[in-house]
Structure 1
């Protein structure tokens, strides 16, 4: 007799493979049951509808992401941003994305398109950590937490497209993951533009003159 917990895990792993390969459109209970080597009735016992299966699969991926980057959610508790290993978190995120590129991109698309991304555990912790950081005196002012979270994750999850096109072996892909994590850290520390050279842009970012710029002249 099959272990229900193990069967559910097998079904979700099969569904995640289809999700990564074909997106949500490629998932059906029949296709997932076939890939998981279970009968369709068993799949329906665990997930009554295709929509429930997709929802559970996205949550399953989120849990994998969470554990890879932050650790066990059951023992994590409220992390103090002052004590966070920012370099380690960034490297673990980049490593997971490099090994699971398609899955990460589909997960991000599904979460951002959902009615409330904050319901997703990984998104809630990732964006939440930026929010907590933005309230400390370690942060630059005027951080848009939601925008920054999307920009970071989109970059991390799309970099493997270039990396895998130019790296034939795992060692080289690891090097490219490290290269990306270093640039994220450098941008977080220094950015790319010296503020004193762009006073008008500084004002615009701070909301002092929202209409400034080429668009306002037209």
Structure 2
């Protein structure tokens, strides 16, 4: 396995970041059973002692990598977790959030796949900040007049995120460049909105999305 062809950063925060990036790559490739601190250190271009200074065990490294991925997902979908607070469901732009997540997943497919497989397999996904906010938002929305009755927000959350985070695997095999991947991300977001519009959303509550699906909006 080749190490990264760049100088090791001296800043501890930057060092931690490259270690987490390397862990993300190996987790996406081999899963938690195939990862070791030695391999992560080699891929990150740092010595093993430095890796152990940041993460004492393989388990702590995996836990930190998932938390790091969760934070990036949270910021991509919702903004800064320190300032966002709890929003009213009427304030959530479902179309914009879906498009942001689809675009982020296309550019960060390894990170999203690592998060999906690790968090959804955990005994208590509600401990994860991104999952808690995403599923919690859907629960509040499902209880409002904006949604059709009887929606299972937890099941819908898993279905939405699994689709958004696994679509890039197919898309990257069928797109030759960034423009092609962007177009496929937009296709996925549009179809997700279409399924929601005529399955879980109350269409009369979202005229803007209905207009977009008819081709009247971008």
- Under a length normalisation based on structure 1, what TM-score does the superposition of the two structures give? 0.83
- Deviation of 1:10 after TM superposition, in Å, equals 2.0
1:147 corresponds to: 155
1:93 corresponds to: 101
Question: How large is the Cα RMSD of the aligned pairs?
Answer: 1.6
Higher-Rg member (1/2)? 1
Instruction: Give deviations 1:13-64, integer Å, cap 9, x for gaps.
Output: 2211222222223321101111222221121111111011001001111111
In structure 2, how many angstroms separate the alpha carbons of the residues matched to 1:2 and 1:172? 37
Q: SS at the partner of 2:176?
A: coil
Equivalent residue runs for 1:199-214 within 5 Å = none
1:204 corresponds to: none
**Structure 2 gap ranges (5+):** 1-8, 201-218
In structure 1, how many angstroms separate the alpha carbons of the residues matched to 2:15 and 2:34? 21
For the 8 Å contact 2:25–2:110, the answer to whether it is kept is no
Equivalent residue runs for 1:27-176 within 5 Å = 27-176=35-184
For the 8 Å contact 2:22–2:44, the answer to whether it is kept is yes
In structure 2, how many angstroms separate the alpha carbons of the residues matched to 1:175 and 1:60? 28
In structure 2, how many angstroms separate the alpha carbons of the residues matched to 1:2 and 1:98? 31
2:188 corresponds to: 180
In structure 1, how many angstroms separate the alpha carbons of the residues matched to 2:17 and 2:92? 31
Equivalenced residue count is 192
In structure 1, how many angstroms separate the alpha carbons of the residues matched to 2:45 and 2:179? 33
- Under a length normalisation based on structure 2, what TM-score does the superposition of the two structures give? 0.83
- Alpha-carbon spacing, 1:2–1:162, altered in 2? closer, same or farther (3 Å): closer
In structure 2, how many angstroms separate the alpha carbons of the residues matched to 1:5 and 1:26? 25
Instruction: Give deviations 1:194-213, integer Å, cap 9, x for gaps.
Output: xxxxxxxxxxxxxxxxxxxx
Pick one of 9, 12, 15 that aligns with 1:4. Answer: 12
More helix by share: 1
For the 8 Å contact 2:24–2:114, the answer to whether it is kept is no
**Structure 1 gap ranges (5+):** 193-218
